[in-house]
Homo-oligomer: A and B are copies of this chain.
Amino acid sequence: MSAIEEQPARPQRADARRNRERVLAAAAELFAEDGCKVQIEQVAQRAGVGVGTVCRNFPTKVDLVDAVVTQGCELLLHEARTALGEPDAGAALRRFFVRMAAFQATHRALAEEMSAPVPASAVPVKQALHEAVGQLMERAQAAGAIRSDIGAGDVTMLLSAISHATSLSAGPEARERYISIVLDGLRPHDASPLPGRPLDFAEIQKSKRRS
């Protein structure tokens, strides 16, 4: 019910806060480079602290990943909202699309988490981000800039598919090329109506479960 962080009386020691920041920064860097499989010990080392400190601030590894992913989502959310303010809906979506892909590609943890099967960790901002993307897309559809037979879930899916694949083994140049291809594919076509029906968010999250 109540907020997660309260301030009893003694707020927190200054060095403790500093260390927490360092850990978070180190984790963000490392996750970005190598995905969230990096070991706690490496994070600790890069942050210049002991493992104990990492684990005190983030009781489990999932907590740490969450914290990093949340940061990333917040950034993207900000971009999405900016894009929503732009007058040309089609251009706005495209620009955001490119930005998001680029961002995800340098933040593997994010890419991994965004398209995660059953999201191991339910980061709340993610939802907001999804909604913003949805609006961005609907606006573009209304303006006739992209085909109308796809849903917001589809876009998220495609985007993270590309981010994932390219962050794994290709460079940023390839990524841009794929984005372009997909964007071309998203243009309004009368040529080939898509099979199936547009997906929204709820659906891309509930399909499969882990054992």
Contact = CB atoms under 8 A, between A and B. Distances in A.
A196 B173 contact: yes
A40 interface: no
A186 interface: yes
B181 A194 contact: yes
Contacts of A34: 210-211
Contacts of A164: 161, 164-165
A16 interface: no
How many copies of the polypeptide does the oligomer hold? 2
A7 interface: no
Interface string A102-145: 00000000000001111000000000000000000000000000
Interface of A: 34, 115-118, 150, 154, 157-158, 160-162, 164-166, 168-171, 173-174, 176-178, 180-187, 189, 191-192, 194-197, 199, 203-205, 207-208, 210-211
6 contacts: A150-B177, A158-B181, A161-B166, A169-B207, A173-B195, A184-B191
Contacts of A203: 170
A203 B191 CA distance: 33
B169 A204 contact: yes
Given A154-B174, A174-B157, A195-B176, A117 B181 contact: no
